[in-house]
Amino acid sequence: MKAHTKETQATMTPAKSLQELKEGNIRFQKNLKANRNLLEQVSDTSKGQFPFATILSCIDSRVSSELIFDQGIGDIFSARVAGNFVNEDILGSMEFACKLAGTNLVVVLGHTSCGAVKGACDDAKLGNLTSMLAKIKPAVDAVEEPKDASLRNSKNIDFVNTVAAKNVQLTIENIRKDSEVLAEMEKKGEIKIVGAMYDINSGAVEFYQ
């Protein structure tokens, strides 16, 4: 499999890009890999890059977008921050990726048993981590059940995973609200913004449609 060129990137619609990621994740789950020469792709992309998707994910060491979607050099832009939320810098990076570099799919990828989400559920305090986790707290507050405070913490993994899913939803809403560039591109059908959840137990990605 060769690295993407300007010509092959142009053939990738948002739907086709999404399908490529889905098929890549299936290969990953089956412990298969597309036939590609990564060093050759390094050479092929040395003078330019033409990725088809932008993925915002957590810094968690188990959640590498390139691996779980079986992608090579130059295939995707990968933005990572604990808790996969957006801020001005990440939005600017996404705008560059879509408007200037040609990606037509934005994926907000959460994952099960997320440590950042657990920290937000427990209202953890530690240096700069405190302000970072505050960006995930709206997702904690938006999950209404369980109402029993003793069950609204990191020990309740079902609650944690529900908050993680809500955080993906709110992050997508924030992208549309805070980035006029991306919101306009989505309205025109130039890009698609979708959410997804990676299961750290199975390696499967569930896309939210």
DSSP helix/strand/coil, 46 = coil
Q: What is the DSSP string of 129-158?
A: HHHHHHTTHHHHHH------GGGSSTT-HH
Q: Looking at the DSSP assignment, which residues form a beta bridge with residue 205?
A: 198
Task: Judge contact between 158 and 72, C-beta under 8 A.
Answer: no
The answer to whether 114 is annotated as binding is yes
Task: Judge contact between 59 and 82, C-beta under 8 A.
Answer: yes
The answer to whether 58 is annotated as binding is yes
Nearest to 203 by CA among 52, 80, 31, 16: 31
DSSP helix/strand/coil, 64 = coil
The answer to whether 60 is annotated as binding is yes
The answer to whether 121 is annotated as binding is no
Q: Binding site membership for Zn(2+): which residues?
A: 58, 60, 111, 114
